[in-house]
Amino acid sequence: MADSENRIEVSHVTHEFHGAALRATGGKLVAVNDVSFSLTDSPPQIVNLVGQSGSGKSTLARIILGLQKPTRGSVTFNGKDVYRLGGRDKEEYLRSVQPVFQDPYGIFNPFYKVDRVLWKAIKKFHLAKGRSDGLEVIERSLRAVDLRPEDVLGRYPHQLSGGQRQRVMLARVHMLQPRFIIADEPVSMLDAAVRVLFLNILIDFRDKYGMTTLFITHDLSTSYYVGGDIMVMHKGGIVESGKVDDVLVNPEHPYTRMLLSSVPVPDPDARWKDRAQVVLAEEEEELVVDKPDIEAPNP
Partner 1 sequence: MAVRQQALEDNKSAAGTPLLDVRDLRVYYNTVSGVSRAVDGVDLSVRRGEILGIAGESGSGKSTLTTALLRLTKPPGFIAGGSIIFHSRDGELVDLMKVSEAQMRSYRWRNLSYLPQGSMNSLNPVMRISDQFEDVIRAHSDRSTQEIRDIVPELLRQVGLEPHVAKMYPHELSGGMKQRVIIAMAVALNSDLVVADEPTTALDVHIQRVVIQTLGALRDNFGMTVILVTHDMAVHAELADRVAVMYAGSIVEVGDVRQIFKDPKHPYTKGLIGSIPRIGGERRRLSGIQGNTPSPTNWPSGCRFHPRCPYVMDVCPREVPRLLPIRDGQARQKPLVACHLYTEVQAESGGRDGGQ
**Site residues for partner 1 per CB under 8 A:** 52-54, 146, 151, 161-164, 191-197, 199-200, 203, 218, 220-222, 224-225, 227, 248-249, 258-272, 274-280, 283, 287, 294-298
Q: How far is the CB of 197 from partner 1 (least distance, A)?
A: 4
Q: How far is the CB of 117 from partner 1 (least distance, A)?
A: 19
- 3 vs 269, beta carbon nearer partner 1: 269
- 10 vs 220, beta carbon nearer partner 1: 220
Q: How far is the CB of 272 from partner 1 (least distance, A)?
A: 7
Q: How far is the CB of 151 from partner 1 (least distance, A)?
A: 8
Round to whole Å and give the CA distance between 86 and 164: 35
Q: How far is the CB of 167 from partner 1 (least distance, A)?
A: 10
- 66 vs 292, beta carbon nearer partner 1: 292
- 13 vs 47, beta carbon nearer partner 1: 47
- 43 vs 268, beta carbon nearer partner 1: 268
